[in-house]
A and B are shown apart, each in its own frame.
Chain A
């Protein structure tokens, strides 16, 4: 297939995934902010961390004076200045889709074009809390519909595999970003204020990756920071864990390599990174530095993205 088509498919999926991620971050931040302050509902902190997980703080400062619910929601949901705002994600996804109509199934096009059309109903006016929450639900539905339409309707060939690569790279990056911003509240040293506060911080992380229920099914234990980190980084049942994302990347890069009869840099990088995760153990990660581990992962994941691009997309 055309390199540009593969590039568009890849970025289309990345942006659809990112829209979902930003919606979840905002959703979780709202929940935390709604708590009485004795339970950790310390507004400014939560909005700052939502901003840090998703956006470009420097760009934010150019357009807003204060970090609060109103400004962060506006920046992350609707701002044109933020290339990762939900609105920008949907618009960019749709632009990518528009230039490769021929490579998309009708269902995929409908999912993304329909979202783009409906976006107009939300933007450009002040939404009430209820409306905003409805909006976030809608965004999650859009991502689900897009993902589902790709899964159900695309031919299982390189086009499909490139969309999966986009989803997996983006998802790994998102999960790692959350960990990067919040690693300190998972560290034992951070149990400094009181159980209930941290409990709600931890559950927020779980909600951000839609793993609140999953946690209990997997560990059948009360929420503990070490296990939260384990779930997000190493657990192979958890769809958004780093290990699982890498599994997806390796699988689809192998399918592409087999189909083209050639292997390259991206196959090598992906299997090395996966081997690194499979060989890891959560206790040792904590012992040698969670922050360093995550930073290293983000760097490697970016390198992998660049290698995929160099090998196939330009």
Chain B
């Protein structure tokens, strides 16, 4: 099935190749693309790749043994958002993350939204990411999600949808920062023609957020650390990059220990108390005495120190339930219930296969739908109906029939496209956007922009880096 022509970030609904008019925000960019000789772009592209390699931005791809360190392709044509577009997104994001926090606080506390029937009880309690340990104490400032990556797609001039809420350990922010850095180095002239809102204050905002969440027992100058699973983790580069920019220690589990319900790190000067842990490690692994006993990435006793209020974990334990795609489908109701407002950002219409009617509709329309595992991530275990072969659809149908509860389905959205350098020159490719939202005890902070991911294969709608996606710098124009 051929999709209708997608909205193009540069030319809008018109056809870029047919010489459609350019949207205002892209005027200067378009003339730059038209007037710059192609060799110049080629030189800059190889320079960009060299810069990334030198800086060391690489990521590990699951299941590929030969090249454990690979570059995520970077495209030098930026994706541009206007100030009004951004203000709209910003308001919507704040509302959404506020609601997420209220929701999490509620399901581990008063359970009002379950009693009121906003969300089915079994969807919450049977969820593997619902951590019952969190019921017996209150997290500092009642905040669970401190760092969120909300995936947004666009289908038209004013049509933005939230595709996913990443509320566990969202990654990619280092690319947002490095992409800008590389663009500034390679194309200083472009930045003199545009007023681009800066993003480089993100680490400062993050640190302020983390410090605001310190437990009451911490000193006025709380010690913050970043906990990484280690250098073999696919996002290790980002962990080390962020720790550097934050000016905090990058610790592995063996650097930390607990004694009498307090967390310490091993330093050359002896043990030092830790107050806030920005952990880039899933719940299941953080404490072998409470969660997976075979985890060597965690700190024994950490949960006890946490429950006693002697350390803040960021994000809190138990936020994974907000990543669940079945829970996602209730977000419009959740936003309404907790904020009393209409949701500013819309969800993609979602069929819950756990519901009988929806299930039979999905089974009948597999070839037109995108079907996702409720607990899946990274583009694994999903079916993109229009791009799948007959056999793939049949096989997926069998899986779905076997465990309908584990899946949701959505119409195949025609994601907006953005001009991108490919082998044959400049061509439209589908993009999404992941802005990073920081929720501190004092305020919600969002740096303007985020990470734009681009599906480099022609027609592909899968932007994940593990599936051949690339990234772009994201510009929010300040005027």
Contacts and interface: CB of A to CB of B under 8 A. Distances in A.
Direct contact of A and B (CB under 8 A): yes
A184 interface: no
Interface string A266-308: 0000000000000000000000000000000000000000000
Nearest to B249: A2
B53 A117 contact: yes
A22 B140 CA distance: 55
Interface stretch (A95-103, A130-138, A141-149): A95-103
Interface in A97-148: 98-102, 109-110, 113-114, 117
| B-side interface size class | 20 to 34
A16 interface: no
A109 B230 CA distance: 18
B266 A102 contact: no
B240 interface: yes
Contacts of A102: 240, 243-244, 249-250
Interface in B220-238: 230-231, 236
Interface string B96-122: 000000000000000000000000000
Interface string A5-48: 11000000000000000000000000000000000000000000
Contacts of B241: 101
Contacts, number: 55
Contacts of A99: 230-231, 240
Nearest to B265: A2
Nearest to B269: A260
Which among B249, B254, B255, B269 has the greatest number of chain A C-beta atoms within 10 A? B269
Contact of B255 (A2, A109, A260): A2
A18 B250 CA distance: 27
Contact of A2 (B231, B240, B251): B251
> Chain A binding site: helix, strand, loop or mixed by DSSP?
helix
A4 B53 contact: no
A3 interface: yes
Given A2-B255, A4-B254, A101-B241, A260 B268 contact: yes
A193 interface: no
A114 B269 contact: no
Contacts of B244: 101-102
| A-side interface size class | 20 to 34
Contact of A3 (B231, B240, B255): B255
Contacts of A256: 268
A183 interface: no
A138 B53 CA distance: 21
B240 to A, nearest CB: 4
B240 A314 contact: no
Given A102-B240, A102-B244, A158 B56 contact: no
Interface string A240-261: 0000000000000000100010
Given A4-B252, A4-B255, A95-B231, A312 B56 contact: no
Given A1-B267, A6-B268, A110 B250 contact: no
Interface of A: 1-6, 95, 98-102, 109-110, 113-114, 117, 158, 162, 256, 260, 262, 312-314
Interface of B: 53-54, 56, 230-231, 236, 240-241, 243-244, 249-252, 254-255, 265-269
11 contacts: A1-B249, A2-B265, A4-B251, A4-B266, A98-B236, A99-B231, A100-B240, A109-B56, A114-B54, A312-B268, A313-B268
